[in-house]
Amino acid sequence: MSDARNYRDLSGMLLAFLVVIMCYGCNPYQFIMGGPHVVSCEILTSLPGVEHNSYMATLTDTAALDLNYYGATQYYLTMGVRIRRGQGFRILLRPVVEHKDIRDSGIIVIATTSGVSLEDSGRIVLSRPEAAVASGQIIRVALLSENNYYQVTFDCDTIVRGWSKRNESDDVVIQALQNSRVDVIHPDWAGLPDQSEDSARTQIGLMKRKAQGGAPLFNRF
């Protein structure tokens, strides 16, 4: 009985996956990428600005890509990012995206070869020049969103963590800066990590920042 139920569940999941593939195959602006939690992607700018396959997308000169996973607003999204040319890229957290139109950019993480900054409502709220992203190197970007809490990590460096009054969004947008070329590699839109494990990482990160005498990581706006 259990085997029959498992077979039906697996068949249903496979059918749903095939339907998603068929639907995305009909629209040149939409595709799926990464895994094991496969991410739905939509090109928000012109088609020539984005080259892609099931593993990686390359964004050129302000090209923008919307990432989504079945409407999930609480997530732990990881991906590799590499600056191949130019200054860098920006990531839009909690944006409002409607019909390929970004109505509200939300919280903007601007990552460049000169440093990382955070922008909200047109103002810079955090600047991390020491967190510059090296050109040509793949960095692991991790984005966590849970209710009002959010966290951005590059490799082992927590760029920012804090709370926002902005509504949660089921979209994350990544965009190459002007005259830049950026790879987005194998994204995985997973559920929230184990809370005790995340809490331990948070405490370790705080102790390291305190020992280094760096800028505070927490932001509330």
Task: Tell me: pLDDT of 219 over 60.
Answer: no
Sign of CA dihedral 87, 92, 98, 103: negative
* Superfamily per CATH, domain 31-220: Exo-inulinase; domain 1 (2.60.120.560)
Domain boundaries, the chain: 31-220
Per residue in 13-44, pLDDT tens?
445 445 544 544 589 999 999 999 999 999 99
Distance CA 33, CA 2 (A): 32
Distance CA 204, CA 211 (A): 11
Per residue in 128-180, pLDDT tens?
999 999 999 999 999 999 999 999 999 999 999 999 999 999 999 999 999 99
Task: Tell me: pLDDT of 120 over 80.
Answer: yes
pLDDT mean across residues, the chain = 84
Instruction: Residue 187: count other Cβ atoms within 10 Å of its Cβ.
Output: 28
Q: Which residues contact 218 (CB under 8 A, 6 or more apart)?
A: 161, 162
Distance CA 184, CA 52 (A): 9
Helices (H) and strands (E) in the chain, counts: 2, 18
